Amino acid sequence: MNTYSLDYIDDLYVRYIQDPNSVSDVWRKYFEEFSLATQSEALYSGNEPVGGNNGEVPDALWLARMQERVDQLVREYRVRGHLMAKIDPLGLNRKGPPELDPQSHGLTEEDMNRPFTSPTLEYANGRTVGDIIEKLRTTYCRSIGAQFMHVDNRNIRDWLQRRMESTENRLALSREVQTRIYTKLADATIFEEFVRKKYATAKTFSLEGAESLIPLLDRALEKAGQHEVKGVVLAMAHRGRLNVLANVMGKRPQSIFWSFDDPNPELFRGGGDVKYHMGYSSDWTTSTGQTIHISLCFNPSHLEFVNPVALGRCRAKQDRAGDITRSEHMTILIHGDAAFIGEGVVQETLNLSELPGYRTGGTLHIVLNNQIGFTTEPAESRSSTYASDIAKMLQIPIFHVNGEDPEAVAQVVNLAMDFRKEFEKDVVIDMYAYRRLGHNEGDEPRYTQPVMYAAIDAKKPVRDSYLEHLLSMNELTRQEADAIAEVRHNRLSREFELAKSEPFVHDLTSLTGIWDGYFGGPEPVNEQLTTGVSRAVAGELLARACDVPEGFRPHRKLVRILDDRREIAAGRQPLDWASAEMLAFATLITEGHPVRLTGQDCERGTFSHRHAVLHDEKDNRKHMPLKHLSPNQAMIEIINSPLSESAVLGYEYGYSLDCPEGLIAWEAQFGDFSNVAQCVIDQFIASAEDKWKRLSRLVMLLPHGFEGQGPEHCSARLERYLLMAAEHNVIVAQPSTPAQYFHLLRRQVKSKWSKPLIVLTPKSLLRNKACVSSLDDIEHGCFRKILPDDRPAGTPTSRIILCSGKAYYDLLDERTRLGRDDVALVRVEQFYPLEASKVLETLSVYEAGTPLYWYQDEPSNMGAWQFVKIHWGDELAARFQLQRISRAESASPSTGSSRAHKLEERDLLNAAFGLA
């Protein structure tokens, strides 16, 4: 019902007064109850009905109209009050929407003084209409603008209304808390002033203009302690990061000043990162004595891609601690306004928040709103009213707050943290501030924003304005404020002098705690490693992995697949790829190593091969046999991810940072889908050890193979991973047998040498009868980087073909068809790291000068050819003349025509056997 429906009700009511039987039973009952209620209220209040005729039409309609108008106005303030809130510290007081004007609802000045009861505003009962409006304005239109009426859940809306309207969105702060807020503002302001004075030309990405972030974080951590949170994962971009490191994380200013001075450049040749990208961890002690461990994530320049990394770390910490309620660890993400609305990974990350495989119990999002992105203004960078509007997809509240009102900031933090605790959902604080300096300290923002910066130049720091407020309220004296500032100046001066006088000490903390005993760097030469599992244990575990509960009804085709796996377990059929993978998972979890695999459709497998999670065909209930192998087994999660690559890969990378003992894997639906996550690969996975001294053992499974399915479904872009391979930063492998895959996965977990593992996995080989192994290979084998030809020793050889993956089986079939036993087929199973000497050792059985070919499906500008030529070519040339067999160079990986694909494949095979 709304104002426009009152004319219709007027007409019905007039008809009812004239003849009650002229309206329907429903409306007659309504009008009878309404008339009784109206008369009772009039008698109770001592007022005469307006028309003096004791309940005739004009009186009842007036009351109905007044009730409707006031209720609608109340709702408009709750829905649109934020549009009139004074949230901009630069003083842009927006004109409120007409819906907030009482006159637009037919309420006159005379009506303002009428006592009125609104059932939708329980805290204002008995007040005048004017009182009700004033209460709404102070609640929703001062320094806080709240968006929450878009939330469908009425319990959430009611909870927020009670919390905000009962206090008019203000905290009653003690002198102690006010002093603490001022102290944190002093910390933030004095740090920035000191750094700018000492390092005038350095880039620091100053927090000036948004100093309220420091008391905001302080208050958030205090509330986290009250909520019994034990750990916080914090992530942010570069703006204000040095300030957060010094004043929240507790990093010594001496160490920060060292990074400005850069006294030992030889330590960072070709490595390291800028100071405002670095991570840190520390313990925070709240005012009541609780200890919270804080981990600040390292972050590259792609600002928001750290978000899923932080969430993955939080989930891993929760799982490690057995925190199944997701309450003991939380994530705080600090965003820039332009990046929050502009970068798609934000939406991908928000979408993870309520998914069972990714939930962390609610994230506190803080949008550090400088109202500009470098030189781009909001009107040029978003189509929405607010930078935070993307978060409305989650059905969560969004609080806009003026950063120059620190007490309003404190209220919002309290409310946001309590909301997160109550509903276990994300929540957003959009703190409006400004950027006093340019994008960096050497930038001149007045070139492009002269009016904005004229307003900024006239602003005093928030510390000064808040001090004036406290002085006027007699909550703090000038002497106390000066003493607070003096302590901070003196400490920074001492730390600055120490940075100049004491030798540089490299701050390396990444290989302690759960990473103790693991190591990066070059591949160890003599690491003793056993990845085999006895045939008996392997058979028993694989058989158990086929068990289903009594009464569970898998699809009839799955019954046959499970029967085949039981035959494999009994040794009566060879081991296929999917069974080898299942066996790798089973052996790891029963040995105490957690396993987590996520990706699009990975429960079943894109190519309908894995079937790790079974569905009852009658009621669709799920069953994962791998969860029921042993009462003491480790956790296993195999989770279908949303249609996302960047956020999901970032999440699993983050998870791997806090789970070194587990197998943490992400599977692309097709290998080239990793293209979409290239930022995560480049800026985290491939370079984190070099930049930040952080290790990861993440596994990326990338289906690869040229099989006539078109350019987007063939290539995992092997060349990209080989191009970024350097300093033993990653492992790039393409195993060609189930046993090799089994040992590779187990090696990744069992070895203490820690690198991300990129695996090119097969598609057609999943069902190729030649691509099989035996349980003996599982028991006695190990992963081998290169597999020699399997012909009998001494067989004459006219040519040698180096190859990898599916190409081997194509060549093997052709060699058999042609009866060409004179051709040796040598498989490269691990491209990197693999020294040329190892390749030469394998080829040493062949006579020098024997023609040697590198064979690949990919065009010559893709695949491994360039890597092979550069890394092995010179050494191989000492004995052989290395040549290439591949498709011609191409802008696209392959043709979209299946018949053209077959023609090209025939040409390749003819060239391989000298028939072209």
How does the average pLDDT of the chain come out, rounded? 91
Alpha-carbon distances of 650 from 235, 239, 659, 679, 689, rounded to whole Å: 13, 22, 14, 9, 16
> Is pLDDT of 106 > 90?
no
Question: What does the pLDDT look like over 553-580, one tens digit per residue?
Answer: 999 999 999 999 999 999 999 999 999 9
Q: How confident is the model at residue 127 (pLDDT cuts 50, 70, 90)?
A: confident
Q: d(Cα 116, Cα 126) in Å, to the nearest integer?
A: 6
Instruction: Output the CA–CA distances (angstroms, integers) from residue 803 to 138, 361, 734, in the order listed.
Output: 73, 48, 10
Name the nearest CA neighbour of 395 among 157, 132, 140, 582: 157
Does 861 score more than 60 pLDDT? yes
For residues 428 and 367, is the Cβ–Cβ distance under 8 A? yes
pLDDT at 230: 97
DSSP 699: E
Length of the chain, in residues: 916
pLDDT value at position 67? 79
Q: Which helix (H) or strand (E) holds 857?
A: strand 852-859
Of 359, 316, 149, which Cα lies nearest the Cα of 661?
A: 316
Report helix, strand or coil for 179: helix
What pLDDT score was predicted for residue 94? 73
pTM exceeds 0.95, yes or no: no
Q: Which two tokens stand for residue 468?
A: 């004036």
Spatial contact of 825 and 803, defined as CB atoms under 8 Å apart: yes
566-to-513, 563, 574, 646, 775 alpha-carbon distances in Å = 42, 5, 11, 37, 13
Instruction: Give the pLDDT confidence of 316-333 residue by residue, as tens digits.
Output: 999 999 999 999 999 999
Instruction: Fill in the amino acid letter for 447.
Output: Y
Q: How many other C-beta atoms can be found within 10 angstroms of the C-beta atom of residue 141?
A: 21
Are 611 and 604 in contact by the 8 Å Cβ rule? The answer is yes
Give residue for tokens 């085949």. 564
Query: What pLDDT is attached to residue 3?
Result: 45
> 309: closest CA among 703, 677, 730, 690?
677
Residue-level pLDDT at 200:
85
| Torsion 813-814-816-821 (CA) sign | negative
Distance CA 317, CA 327 (A): 11
What's the half-sphere exposure (Cβ side, CA atoms, 13 Å) at 244? 32
- SS3 label, residue 588: helix
| Per-residue model confidence (pLDDT) at position 148 | 98
User: Is the confidence at residue 850, as pLDDT, over 50?
Assistant: yes
Q: Is the pLDDT of residue 126 over 70?
A: no
DSSP conformation class of 519: B
Question: Residue 504, CB half-sphere, CA atoms under 13 Å: how many?
Answer: 15
Question: What is the distance between the alpha carbons of residues 593 and 749, in angstroms, rounded to a whole number?
Answer: 8
Model pLDDT for residues 763-778, shown as the tens digit of each residue? 999 999 999 999 999 9
DSSP assignment string, 314-381: HHHHHHHTT-TTS-SEEEEEEEEHHHHHH-HHHHHHHHHTTSTTT--S-EEEEEEE-S-BTTB-HHHH
In the chain, the largest separation of any two C-alpha atoms, in whole Å, equals 119
Q: Is the pLDDT confidence value at 143 over 90?
A: yes
Amino acid at 260: F
Q: Give yes or no for a contact between 527 and 752, defined as CB atoms under 8 angstroms apart.
A: yes
Cα 804 from Cα 734, distance rounded (Å): 7
pLDDT score at 63? 72
In degrees to the nearest 10, what's the CA dihedral of 9, 14, 15, 18? 160
> What does the block give as tokens for 783?
């992963």
What is the SS3 assignment for 787-812? ECCCCCCCCCCCEEEEECCHHHHHHH
Yes or no: say if 613 and 656 are a contact pair by the CB < 8 Å rule.
no
Could you read off the pLDDT of 30-69 as tens digits, one per residue? 777 666 544 544 444 444 444 444 444 556 667 777 778 8
pLDDT tens, position by position, 292-312: 999 999 988 778 999 999 999
Amino acid at 407: E
Amino acid 439: pLDDT? 84
**Number of alpha carbons in the 13 Å side-chain half-sphere of residue 874:** 3
User: Which residue spans within 133-194 are E strands per DSSP?
Assistant: 144-147
Residue 901 Cα distances to 148, 747, 763, 802, angstroms: 56, 36, 16, 22
**Model confidence band, residue 275 (pLDDT cutoffs 50, 70, 90):** low
CB 275 within 8 A of CB 256: yes
Count CB neighbours of 262 within 10 A.
Answer: 12
Q: What's the token pair of residue 187?
A: 């910390």
For residue 841, pLDDT over 90 is answered with yes
Q: What is the DSSP letter of 125?
A: T
At 627-661, the pLDDT tens digits run 999 999 999 999 999 999 999 999 999 999 999 99
Beta carbons of 399 and 428 less than 8 angstroms apart: yes
Q: Specify the pLDDT at position 50.
A: 44
Contact 366, 400 (CB under 8 A): no
From residue 548, alpha-carbon distances to 554, 581, 585, 612 in Å are: 9, 19, 18, 12
Whether 243 shows a pLDDT value over 90: the answer reads: yes
Cβ-based neighbours of 201, under 8 Å, separated by 6 or more:
441, 442
pLDDT of residue 34: 62
Which tokens in the block code for residue 355? 């998914």
pLDDT for the residue 40: 46
Question: Is 70 exceeded by the pLDDT of residue 104?
Answer: yes
Is 288's pLDDT higher than 60?
Answer: yes
